[in-house]
């Protein structure tokens, strides 16, 4: 299939954009990465995702697929010759979907709340985040069954969902001066994180923490200067 | 073959367990209902859904699954008999998943936001709610059901609209879904409401009205200027 048959609309700092890129890499599918300019939305994006106007969007042929985890499932179902991202057993699939939803519905929103949080509020958010990460650490034990990833021998659905957040997790640790992934509380996740970031499907799309910190500085400056309701 | 044991934790009023009930009934899967009082959750519920402590929870041969849309996909993948709930084509499946998520992330919260407000606040809340409903109208154009010719995953995901919109409208004394502007959606709501199996499942309307009157009152009192 020609490279231009598969496009990902996105931006390098976005954890959600990483997800389809990792999935396509796992399946050895060539794709064109079309980056949005920060602060504006391209015509292609507005046409492909008129409902949410957000990245990532996968464009396969001329068909757009939106919402990062839905895109990952789509990739898994279309490119069946590559390694499976979701397991075949329905119960195991349900567990993976449950934890991926947990990352998006509980973990990521808490991470966002860290931005600008101070004092008591910060303490409460850190507690929430730690609780969530400890639950995921326990889930790792159950899902991996002694293997290197949530998905077993290779990267799977939860690995992609959670792993894509690692960049921003590390940025938050540095900027807010807290330890979130911790050898004492989340020992399995600490080791897993290193394995995930080193994986061939991940390392070229995982942004460096320093670059993300620079990007975050720019984001903060823009937000401070932006008019209300932006 | 081991006898199947299927249990479903639900509350009398929550629309999310209904999705699972519809799926199980449509596929003819026998199941046992465990009715929860959400103000006094059973230790069994907390055991099976320790993380969210919510309904629905499906317990199949001792293994528990939570989150209604996750459970729907589990039911579809485990019990492959007809009717199939999701289409075969991956793109069509992605579309159904996208719109189901849109329903839970946007449609429901925006309608709730109209329901708990009054006056100018409610007027403002109407705008995004009606925009969201218009997307559903466009989705349905030319089709009997969201999933096509018969009830499927997306209809089950949106099913709560069929009875809850009229409950909201009756309690708040205002219309959010204009039948004239949204004819396909109105027709779907009627069809779904009265569909075989579905029509037997609705919680008692008078109880729903009473419950939601209390909920709306509580929200309005909370927001009232002191």
Does residue B134 sit at the A interface (CB-CB below 8 Å)? no
Whether B132 has its CB under 8 Å from any CB of chain A: the answer is no
* Domain range enclosing A18: 3-78
Instruction: Report pLDDT for A173.
Output: 94
Instruction: Please report, for the domain that includes residue A135, its CATH number.
Output: 1.20.1050.10
Q: Which residues in chain A are contacts of B51 at CB distance < 8 A?
A: 102, 135
- For residues A66 and A160, membership in a common domain is answered with no
* Whether residues B70 and B115 fall in one domain: no
A129 and A196 in a single domain? The answer is yes
Is residue B44 located within the same domain as residue B118? Answer: no
What's the token pair of residue B116? 């708990």
Beta-carbon contacts of residue B125 (< 8 Å; ≥ 6 apart): B110, B113, B114, B117
Number of compact structural domains in chain A? 2
By C-alpha distance, the chain A residue nearest B131 is: A51
Residue with tokens 């500085």: A217
Given an 8 Å threshold on Cβ–Cβ distance, is A63 in contact with B91?
yes
pLDDT exceeds cutoff 80 at A122: yes
pLDDT tens for A16-39 read: 999 999 999 999 999 999 999 988
Domain count, chain B: 2
Give a yes or no: residue A65 inside a domain. yes
Q: Are both A107 and A52 inside the same structural domain?
A: no
Q: What is the pLDDT of residue B159?
A: 98
Q: What is the CATH number of the domain that holds B10?
A: 3.40.30.10
**Do A95 and A141 lie in a common domain?**
yes
Q: Among A78, A104, A122, where does a domain finish?
A: A78
Q: How far is B74 from chain A (nearest CA, A)?
A: 6
Tell me the pLDDT tens digit for each residue of B69-119: 999 999 999 999 889 999 999 999 999 999 999 999 999 999 999 999 999
Return the closest-CA partner of residue A4 out of A29, A28, A25, A26. Answer: A29
Give the gap in angstroms from C-alpha B51 to the nearest C-alpha of chain A. Answer: 9
B65·A67 Cβ contact <8 A:
no
HEC string of A190-226 equals HHHHHHHHHCCCCCCCCCCHHHHHHHHHHHHHHHHHC
What pLDDT, on a 0 to 100 scale, did the predictor assign at position B128?
A: 97
Same domain, B45 and B124: no
Question: Do B133 and B29 belong together in one domain?
Answer: no
The distance of A194 to chain B (nearest Cα, Å) reads 27
Whether A113 and A199 map to the same domain: the answer is: yes
> Can you name the residues that pair with B18 across neighbouring β-strands?
none
Give residue B1's pLDDT band: very low, low, confident or very high (50, 70, 90): very low
Q: What is the pTM of this model?
A: 0.95
Helices B108-115 and B119-140 meet at what angle, rounded to 10?
A: 150
CATH number at residue A67: 3.40.30.10
Which of A77, A90, A135 is closest, CB to CB, to B90? A77
Domain containing B53: what range?
A: 6-78
Quote the ipTM score: 0.94
Assigned token pair, A15 = 């954890």
Choose the weakest-confidence range: A114-118, B176-180, B214-218.
A114-118
Diameter of chain A measured on Cα atoms: 54
Q: In chain B, what residues touch A101 (CB-CB under 8 Å)?
A: 67, 70
Contacts of A98 in chain B (CB under 8 A): 65-67, 70
Q: Does the pLDDT at position B171 exceed 60? A: yes
State how far the Cα of B95 lies from the Cα of B189, in Å rounded to an integer: 20
- The pLDDT assigned to A226 comes to 63
Whether B39 and B145 map to the same domain: the answer is no
Question: Do A94 and A206 sit in the same domain of this protein?
Answer: yes
CB contact under 8 Å between B93 and A74, yes or no, is yes
Name the pLDDT band for A211 (thresholds 50, 70, 90): very high
Question: Within a domain: residue A163?
Answer: yes
Distance of CA B14 to the CA centre of its chain: 8
Angstrom distance (rounded) from CA B150 to CA B144: 7
For residue B97, being part of any structural domain is answered with yes
A96 shares its domain with A176: yes
Nearest residue of A to residue B79, measured between CA atoms: A90
Is A130 inside any structural domain? yes
Same domain, A94 and A130: yes
């Amino acid at each position: 299939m020609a490279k231009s048959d598969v496009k990902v609309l996105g931006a390098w700092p976005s954890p959600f954009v990483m997800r389809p890129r990792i999935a396509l890499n796992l399946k050895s599918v060539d794709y064109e990465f079309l980056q949005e300019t920060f602060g504006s939305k391209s015509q292609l994006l507005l046409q492909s995702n008129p409902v949410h106007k957000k990245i990532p969007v996968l464009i396969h042929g001329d068909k757009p697929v939106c919402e990062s985890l839905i895109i990952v499932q789509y990739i898994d179902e279309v490119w069946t010759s590559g390694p499976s991202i979701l397991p075949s057993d329905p119960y195991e699939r349900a567990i993976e979907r449950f934890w991926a939803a947990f990352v998006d519905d509980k973990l990521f929103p808490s991470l966002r709340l860290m931005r600008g949080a101070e004092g008591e509020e910060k303490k409460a958010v850190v507690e929430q985040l730690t609780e969530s990460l400890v639950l995921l650490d326990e889930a790792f034990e159950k899902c991996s069954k002694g293997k290197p990833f949530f998905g077993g021998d290779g990267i799977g659905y939860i690995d992609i969902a959670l792993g894509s957040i690692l960049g921003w997790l590390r940025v938050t640790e540095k900027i807010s001066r807290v330890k979130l992934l911790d050898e004492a509380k989340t020992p399995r996740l600490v080791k897993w994180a290193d394995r995930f970031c080193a994986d061939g499907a991940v390392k070229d799309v995982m942004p460096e923490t320093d670059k993300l910190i620079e990007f975050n500085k720019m984001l903060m400056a823009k937000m401070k200067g932006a008019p209300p309701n932006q | 073959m081991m006898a199947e044991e299927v249990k479903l934790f639900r509350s009398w009023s929550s629309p999310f367990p209904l999705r699972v009930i519809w799926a199980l009934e449509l596929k003819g899967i026998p199941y046992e209902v465990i009715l929860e009082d959400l103000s006094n959750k059973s230790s069994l519920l907390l055991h099976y859904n320790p993380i969210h402590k919510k309904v629905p929870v499906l317990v199949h041969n001792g293994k528990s699954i939570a989150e209604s849309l996750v459970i729907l996909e589990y039911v579809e993948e485990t019990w492959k008999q007809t009717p199939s709930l999701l289409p075969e084509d991956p793109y069509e499946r992605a579309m159904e998943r996208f719109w189901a998520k849109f329903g839970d992330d946007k449609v429901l919260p925006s309608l709730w936001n109209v329901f708990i407000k009054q006056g100018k606040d409610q007027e403002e809340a109407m705008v995004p709610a009606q925009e969201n409903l218009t997307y559903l109208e466009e989705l349905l154009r030319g089709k009997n059901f969201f999933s096509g010719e018969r009830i499927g995953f997306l209809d089950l995901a949106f099913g709560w609209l069929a009875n809850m919109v009229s409950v909201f409208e009756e309690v708040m004394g205002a219309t959010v879904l204009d039948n004239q502007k949204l004819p396909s959606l109105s027709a779907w709501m009627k069809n779904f409401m009265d569909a075989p199996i579905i029509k037997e499942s609705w919680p008692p309307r008078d109880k729903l009205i009473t419950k939601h009157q209390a909920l709306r009152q509580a929200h309005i009192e909370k927001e009232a200027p002191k």
